[in-house]
Amino acid sequence: MIPEIGQFVLLLALLVAGVQSFIPLLGASQKNSALMKTGSSMAIAQFFLILIAFFALTYAFVVSDFSVYLVFKNSHSLKPMLYKISGVWGNHEGSMLLWALILAIFGAAVAVFANGLPSTLKARVISVQAMIGFCFLTFIVFTSNPFDRLDPPPLNGLGLNPILQDPGLAFHPPLLYLGYVGFSVAFSFAIAGLLEEQIDGSWGKWVRPWVISAWTSLTAGIVLGSWWAYYELGWGGWWFWDPVENASFMPWLFGTALLHSVIVVEKRNTLKIWTLLLAILTFFLCLLGTFLVRSGVLTSVHAFASDPERGIFILMILILAVGGALILFALKAPRITSSVSFSFFSRESAIILNNLILTFSSITVLLGTLYPLILESITGGTNSVSVGPPYFNLTFVPIMIPLLIAISFGPLLAWKHNNLAVIANKLKIALISAAVAAIITYIIVPDGPILAPIAIGLAIWIAVGSLTEWAMKTKLFDKPFNITNLKFSYFIRAISGMTFAHLGLSILIIGITGSSAWQTEFITSLYLGESKQFKEHKITLEKVEYFSGPNYEVERAHLLITKPNGETLKFMPERRFFPVSGQTTTEASIKTTLLVDLYAVLGESKVHQKSEKKWTLRFFINPLIPWIWFGAVLMVCGGLLSLANPSHWTVNLYASRKKRSPAKISEPTKMDI
């Protein structure tokens, strides 16, 4: 009965979304307040209906109702409760229902919390959100129904994909979807702004918190997925330029550009057309990622479905949404003008440079991701190629170097105009620190790639530049030193999300450089009790034990690693066999410090001489890789800190006028972000 309720409310949600798609829009065009207000009520109703459907599906997974085909296909009675719940979105149909739920959450959030918006703009935003929701609800109901029944119901299910049975994968998809779907709000604001033909500083202020929240969620989702791949897949790395990884990385790059561009609209009332285009293209890449994951055109451990027919449906949604948006953009954008001027050396110019580099880098990733598909479609599959890390390392990395150099300049530049010599003088400590760091790195590790010391220098350049900008905000050196200058609250008020994010980026770069340039790998085979030497480490296989887990069988090796100073470390890498699916996964054993990860993976065993087993082992030394996670967490904290800034949500100050006028542009102070 519960699944039928879920099916029924899902159909009701589709009906509500359809009505919500045009009634508020009609009210906005006719300036009919009654019709416009219905949009908020319907957005909230749509959210509760989809929430009920989602709870109905979750209930079916929790109680192991195998009469529901989706539960039979993706669950098992012996599966731990955490993975029964995460199994709701660990498949195509359930993940799309989660997508629709998050989309409805954002629509309801606009309805409830955006009361300061002009009524016509709010009505149009809610209508556009409903149009997107209607498309995806149609897709779910007619091609991906999560409530299909089996009769008679089987006694047990097939189980969830073993590699998805991990805490990291329980939280990675929801965070990723919060990012993907969050950018739909920026898209809706862009379409609403184009329909009203009025984009100003108020519009930028309204859009900015939604962009920040989407960017923060997408960053957290990507990092969590990367961390999962690092410790779960046993490859020893954290990023592999997998096509589906790229599908999430491209909207992150465009979203980062959008985040910076919308600041210019808010503060300076310029770059309007470019920001609108970025909002459309960012959401386009979110939809493209959804298509790639669910169409079957890509082979990946992340792929949800391999049904071309469902992929075509998503492609139609993509063409309809983005194609319509671009047509509207072509018609309306010429009517949106800006008369604000700025010099070459200004913060506006720095953000334009930031946007161009991020855009070109994303296009580079897009070409590398789609080129094999395009070539295969042209040649009919006779000439298949793969584009791997060498391509991305040779194209993406050089493009990003100018951006890393410019990051420290941008926050110190004033709006409208600035003297480059003055800024360069403020950054001399950062330049000296970067040079010293690069030289010391080269002296300590002379045999690594020459780009490694340069990358470390760039990371220090960004870090010291960010701290310099923070010191200027706090006026740390503007007066004689006094203990009162160190009041905690005084400095906290001056900390910005941007400072945290840039510091996190610098730490992330150090981690990426260390793990990429100086990683060492050792592959060997050992009998029980046998030892081998790997650099300064002695590896001994002490024993191998076998036991059963909740729904899998475990083969666990006990390794003893002896360091040069005589210290010993115990590693227990595992191989897990899942009888229901017949699949085997690896569980790496990792010992981490601030500077290095020691990483052991257990491979297959084979019978060798005297009928004795010999186990394959892989051992990695990953320098500085913990810095990747620490830097990424700081970037997420930067986004959360920006969201906590009350000024981002005080839209009532802008919306108190009956008719909006272009935002007044005043000369910004040093404290402007």
Mean pLDDT of 81-109: 93
Which pLDDT score, from 0 to 100, does residue 416 have? Answer: 82
What does pTM read for this prediction? 0.90
Taking phi first (over 0 means left), then psi (-120 to 50 degrees means alpha), and beta for anything else, what does residue 582 get? left
Confidence of residue 491 (pLDDT cuts 50, 70, 90): low
- 45 Cβ contact partners less than 8 Å away, ≥ 6 residues apart: 16
Confidence of residue 17 (pLDDT cuts 50, 70, 90): very high
Q: Please provide the average confidence, as pLDDT, over all residues in the chain.
A: 86
Which pLDDT score, from 0 to 100, does residue 292 have? Answer: 80
Which pLDDT score, from 0 to 100, does residue 494 have? Answer: 52
pLDDT digits (tens, 9 = 90+) for 261-304: 999 999 888 889 999 999 999 999 999 888 887 765 655 545 45
Mean pLDDT of 206-229: 93
- Residue 482 or residue 31, greater confidence: 31
Confidence of residue 60 (pLDDT cuts 50, 70, 90): very high
- Residue 583 or residue 477, greater confidence: 583
Q: How far is the C-alpha of 651 from the C-alpha of 122, rounded, in Å?
A: 12
Which pLDDT score, from 0 to 100, does residue 176 have? Answer: 92
Which pLDDT score, from 0 to 100, does residue 553 have? Answer: 92
Which pLDDT score, from 0 to 100, does residue 480 have? Answer: 58
| Of 359, 340, 227, 155, the residue nearest 633 (C-alpha) | 227
Which pLDDT score, from 0 to 100, does residue 658 have? Answer: 40
Which pLDDT score, from 0 to 100, does residue 41 have? Answer: 95
Q: Is the pLDDT of residue 594 over 80?
A: yes
Q: How far is the C-alpha of 573 from the C-alpha of 590, rounded, in Å?
A: 8
Which pLDDT score, from 0 to 100, does residue 485 have? Answer: 52
Mean pLDDT of 37-45: 95
| Strand, coil or helix: 563 | coil
Q: How far is CA 138 from CA 56, 149, 185, in A?
A: 19, 19, 20
pLDDT digits (tens, 9 = 90+) for 65-74: 999 999 999 8
Pairing of strands 568-571, 553-562: antiparallel
Q: Is the pLDDT of residue 652 over 60?
A: no
Confidence of residue 352 (pLDDT cuts 50, 70, 90): very high
- Residue 420 or residue 630, greater confidence: 630
| Of 512, 467, 489, 504, the residue nearest 638 (C-alpha) | 504
Phi, psi of 291 (to 5 degrees): -65, -45
Confidence of residue 383 (pLDDT cuts 50, 70, 90): low
Which pLDDT score, from 0 to 100, does residue 2 have? Answer: 92
Q: In what order do the strands lie in the sheet with 589-592?
A: 520-526, 613-623, 596-607, 589-592
Range with the lowest mean pLDDT among 218-222, 345-349, 599-603?
Answer: 345-349
Contact 594, 242 (CB under 8 A): no
Domain annotation for the chain: domains and CATH numbers: 1-160 (1.20.120), 527-621 (no CATH)
Cα atoms in the Cβ-side hemisphere of radius 13 Å centred on 360: 14
Which pLDDT score, from 0 to 100, does residue 671 have? Answer: 33
pLDDT digits (tens, 9 = 90+) for 618-648: 999 999 999 999 999 999 999 998 888 655 5
Confidence of residue 611 (pLDDT cuts 50, 70, 90): low
Q: Is the pLDDT of residue 183 over 90?
A: yes
Q: How far is the C-alpha of 654 from the C-alpha of 645, rounded, in Å?
A: 17
- Residue 141 or residue 477, greater confidence: 141
Mean pLDDT of 426-453: 92
Q: What is the CA radius of gyration of the chain?
A: 27
Which pLDDT score, from 0 to 100, does residue 492 have? Answer: 56
Which pLDDT score, from 0 to 100, does residue 343 have? Answer: 79
Range with the lowest mean pLDDT among 123-127, 301-305, 404-408?
Answer: 301-305
- Residue 231 or residue 132, greater confidence: 132
Contact 580, 598 (CB under 8 A): no
Q: How far is the C-alpha of 571 from the C-alpha of 395, rounded, in Å?
A: 38
Q: Is the pLDDT of residue 52 over 50?
A: yes
pLDDT digits (tens, 9 = 90+) for 515-564: 999 999 999 999 999 999 888 889 999 999 999 988 889 999 999 999 88
